[in-house]
Structure 1
Amino acid sequence: MTKFFATTAIAVALALPAHAVQPAEGEVLAESQSYTYWLLDAIKTLDPARNTDVEGSDVLRQLFEGLMNEDATGAMVPGVAERFEESDDKLTYTFHLRDAKWSNGQPVTAGDFVHAWQRVVNPATASEYAWFMELMNIVNATQIVKGEKPPEELGVKALDDRTLQVTLTTPTPYFIKTLSHATTYPVPQSVIAEHGDDWTQPGKLVGNGAFVLAAHNLGVDITLEKNPEYWDAANVLMQRVQGVTVNDNNVALTRYQAGELDRVQIPAGQYPRLSQESPDQAVSIPYACSYAYVYNVSDKGPEALKDVRVREALSLALQRDIIVENVLQGGQRPATTWTHWAIEGFDQPQTELATMSQADKTARAQELLAEAGYGPDNPLALTLQYNTDDNHKKLAIAAQQFWKPLGVNLTLNNVEWKVHTDRMQNQDFEIARYAWCADYNEASTFLDWFRTDGYNSGKWSNAEFDRLMAEAKTADDTAPLYSRAEEILAEEVPAAFVYHYAKVDMINPKIRGLPTDNVLNTWYAKDLYRLAD
């Protein structure tokens, strides 16, 4: 389990200034401080309580600020909280807030955090991330999410305007790591009361981050400008940030090469060439996301997928080495676990998926499908749903080819991101492409996804798995618990784990301050600056 410094050490560390990154000696700044980056899909929401997407979190991190931020290595540093104390029993945290303001000039108070967190767990909000507050082990979070207690009984209170107290049900070593997540950001109660669901629109949205919302053309672009009311505005160099939506990754790369974008994902298979041609621009670093094909084992799912032999056969037959070495070619690794290999303190168990040769896996897959009654003479018809992206399409076609010799007729169904996620949340799919990116740097951020009451779109359920994850919340040594949990996933195969991400991008070398040593790839525009040509 991740260990933290002694409380006094944390308090001292958090009392230090947390100023934005500054240029190195000799670097000459560009006259225009702007950063333009690529977005694959539209930003669905700018409400911290309702966001579920990585891209949405990237924008929210600029518009709002939580109790804590992350530095370039992923270590926790002060955000709105200057310092905090932890009680001897590790159940109570007291945060002391700095003199921060909303973008309308009003003070950010402890009550704003209380309101925001109560809003997340309130069933009326319909937050898809309400479970995150449960994961944080905040007192009464689970009962409130279930509608058994009112939101006002959540274990968070404002002792005064600058002092926030949080009470947990059990010691939670990763608790502090959760506090840079968008779900925990404060929101302006009076603004939401005035504008209702329209409060996130340009001209209405009030945030406490280093930037404000200047414009948002849904599915086209989103523009942020420096917030003069931000507490550390004097040390923020970047003036303008723009995310541009381009559904075709190859078109986005062309726009990068034309100088229209400062950062873009490298399309599958092109990293080797681009790293040779532009070694100062092509980057591949570990990124704590895992790609999978989730099986719908709910009552709405196909009967065939309720047979573990079918699920295991499909997983075994995926030729992951070909996917990462011949299709993606960007430093990704084959996934034999759900938890990303680079997560701090995680030891990958040696399952059959990790140790068998591909020839043996394919042979075993054929045996399993035959036992289940399927094969070339009795084909299994399934549909794989994926959201619009050329990389997802390439992988789906590869899966189709890997499964065809087994007697699986796979239909590919491409839909837009919002439709894709809505269908997954309602179990309106058979097999769905999905990826999970870590919310904090600890294995439970992945494994909790598969709890019976977790996000768990395929609705798989296992009592031993749930017990292990509950036990891990208070265990001194979580490693064997997490290892066994992964073994259960390998035995039950609720999803076919495909590959572990690497962040494979082209980045304009004039842009400085983007982190390369944070496995969560958490970036803050307040830390960016542009060099002169």
Structure 2
Amino acid sequence: MKSKKLLSVILSAAVISTVALSGCGSSSTSAGASGALDKDQHLNVEVPTSDVKTLDPSKGSDGYSAYVLQETMEALSRDEVKNGKEVVVPAGAKSWSQSSDGLTWTFHLRDNKWSDGKPVTADQYVYALRRSLDANTASEYAYLLIGAGIKNSDEINKGKMSSDQLGVSAPDSKTLVINLSHPCAYFEKLLNFKFFIPQREDMVKKAGSKYGSAANTLVYNGPFKMTSMVSGNKIELVKNDQYWDKKSVKLDKVTMYFMDDANTMLNALQSGQIDIADTLRPEWVSRFNKTGKFNQVTGNVPTNSYLEFNNQDKNKLLTNAKIRKAISLSLNRKDYLKTTSYNIGTVSNAWVPKAIDIGDESYRSKANVSVKDSKEDPKELFKQGLKELGMDTDLSKVVLNDEEAGTDERHKLEGDYLINAFKKNLGVTLKVDYKEWKQFLQDEEDLNYEMQSGEMWSADYNDPMTFMDMWETDAAKTKNGYANKEYDALIEDAKIQKDQAKRLDDFKKAEDLLVNKDAAIAPTFSQGENLFAYKYVKGIQTPQFGASGSRDVEFKYAYISGKNK
């Protein structure tokens, strides 16, 4: 689950923002850079959960873990902001090139060191990619590399080949070569992803199953290194003096507080315990703006909230496409957005959000797929589904079970809304179980749910594929039991096509299958952003397609100036 940012309105030049939605960039503190640095360079931020799933780059799947990895690790590239534009910039690799047929990519690595002083070498990138695709690792994101076409990746991930046959090699310590089985139109956009973070085999083997679960199980090659991680409390980072670009890093320390309760987080921002936080709640927005102490950044983000249906539901109800579609059609998405996100964001009648481009054009402006186009009556459709399942068609007797992706106020608002909407618009009863984040993810992985809500997905890169390949039958990232060979074939064709018009046609047909014919999910709204940062916080960046999804506030170039004034 990720959530990228397009922050369209900047109310202070002290914050550097992107001007396009969802994914890449480079730049330092060109805005607000004239301010004198405070002696105390300590930034305090929040992470809106009680814990991160894992910091193992091969296994992490949520935006919160990626948020931490973004600040502590260096992939081949970084997404940054230069001159108001989000771009892909060299990071772990200082340069790269591709062959004329697009099948061979050669990366020339920087002179960089791990936090323990040992050199970062090409064979560590090779090891990381092999490990991520190894069937024994069981990486939920392996499908991303398979889709990109890294040679033999599919066979290796299925256990049919050994990982040393993967199309990656290290001719020398500073050169990485990646061979693809087919051209990939979006390959360069993937290079900041956590799979392209090098890994040290000695550290992986030493930590074993605990790798990524504590600060001392990892070494770091990014701007900061972790000194401690306490579940339910905080993560502490300090400047990494071994980092190749340490001269650009001005902060000495970053403390990340776990705060899964919105009121706790907002009170912490108001009191100055933390320096940056998001809120959509009108009363807090007004309160913060009246103080005159904050810079506010608002806008839409290229992410979609959705209802996830277990297409292999053991209770049978959600195995039926008509019942799934009835639920989707019954939703008043304007009310949904107003109730759960205070009208900050946009309704989503399709799966790929407006922020995503195909080539150099907006995908949504070209793809006229929409749930709202259906004229079918949701109640009658639900009854037809019940009849097909051989069940009683009395809607008042139907009970559906939903899991919400959190226990805080925001998720309880959503749960209450859905309970009332299902009763009013469908005449059925919805029972909502509010789950802690880790358990929610585990239930999803185990297909141990009927319906899930409160989850969001956003782009890992700026191409429709980042929203579409996750629903292929063999994709393991988001599990809902959906399987459609026609859908799979369309996505597989889009992966290998160079012609964007052909890719567009594939995506349109696949998206229509996903949200209309099969109704495998029900998109609801695209999230809005409302970030508040104290005015003494300078030089932060907010790339939409950075590595960390919804937590894309980049601290590499941040600094503190004038806090005590």
TM-score, L = length of structure 1: 0.91
2:52 maps to 43
How far residue 479 of structure 1 moved from its aligned partner, in angstroms, is 1.8
How far residue 269 of structure 1 moved from its aligned partner, in angstroms, is 5.0
Cα deviation, 1:461-504, whole Å, max 9, x if unaligned, reads 11211111011112212222212221111221111111111222
RMSD: 2.2
Size of the aligned set, in residue pairs, is: 511
1:308 maps to 321
Cα deviation, 1:42-62, whole Å, max 9, x if unaligned, reads 112111111111111010111
Contact 1:69/1:180 (8 A) holds in 2? yes
Contact 1:318/1:402 (8 A) holds in 2? yes
Which secondary structure state, in structure 2, belongs to the residue aligned with residue 399 of structure 1?
Answer: helix
Contact 2:329/2:371 (8 A) holds in 1? yes
Which secondary structure state, in structure 2, belongs to the residue aligned with residue 105 of structure 1?
Answer: coil
Structure 2 letter corresponding to 1:242: T
Contact 1:39/1:243 (8 A) holds in 2? yes
Distance 2:531 2:343 in 1: 9
User: Aligned pair in 2 of structure 1 residues 366, 194: CA closer, same or farther (>3 Å)?
Assistant: closer
Which secondary structure state, in structure 1, belongs to the residue aligned with residue 344 of structure 2?
Answer: coil
2:437 maps to 417
The aligned runs of 1:37-436 (5 Å cut-off) are: 37-41=45-49, 42-72=51-81, 73-200=85-212, 201-268=214-281, 270=283, 273-274=286-287, 277=290, 280-298=294-312, 300-329=313-342, 331-345=344-358, 346-347=363-364, 349-351=367-369, 353-355=371-373, 364-373=377-386, 378-388=396-406, 389-405=408-424, 406-433=426-453, 434-436=455-457
User: Aligned pair in 2 of structure 1 residues 33, 194: CA closer, same or farther (>3 Å)?
Assistant: same
User: Aligned pair in 2 of structure 1 residues 425, 198: CA closer, same or farther (>3 Å)?
Assistant: closer
Distance 1:443 1:183 in 2: 20
How far residue 183 of structure 1 moved from its aligned partner, in angstroms, is 2.2
Distance 1:22 1:351 in 2: 41
Contact 1:271/1:282 (8 A) holds in 2? no
Distance 2:429 2:160 in 1: 46
Contact 2:399/2:428 (8 A) holds in 1? yes
Distance 2:233 2:134 in 1: 32
Structure 2 letter corresponding to 1:295: F
Cα deviation, 1:298-350, whole Å, max 9, x if unaligned, reads 1x433121222111111111111012234412521111111121112312543
How far residue 366 of structure 1 moved from its aligned partner, in angstroms, is 1.8
Structure 1 letter corresponding to 2:79: E
User: Aligned pair in 2 of structure 1 residues 378, 400: CA closer, same or farther (>3 Å)?
Assistant: closer
Structure 2 letter corresponding to 1:52: S
Contact 1:272/1:329 (8 A) holds in 2? no
Structure 2 letter corresponding to 1:412: V
Which secondary structure state, in structure 1, belongs to the residue aligned with residue 314 of structure 2?
Answer: coil
Distance 1:230 1:37 in 2: 22
Which secondary structure state, in structure 1, belongs to the residue aligned with residue 556 of structure 2?
Answer: helix
Cα deviation, 1:149-206, whole Å, max 9, x if unaligned, reads 0000110000100000000011001111111011221111222233323444334421
Which secondary structure state, in structure 1, belongs to the residue aligned with residue 532 of structure 2?
Answer: strand
**Structure 2 counterpart of 1:512, from 538, 544, 558:** 538
User: Aligned pair in 2 of structure 1 residues 206, 85: CA closer, same or farther (>3 Å)?
Assistant: same
How far residue 19 of structure 1 moved from its aligned partner, in angstroms, is 6.9
**Quick one: higher RCO (CA 8 Å, sep 6+), 1 or 2?**
2
TM-score, L = length of structure 2: 0.86
Distance 1:224 1:178 in 2: 26
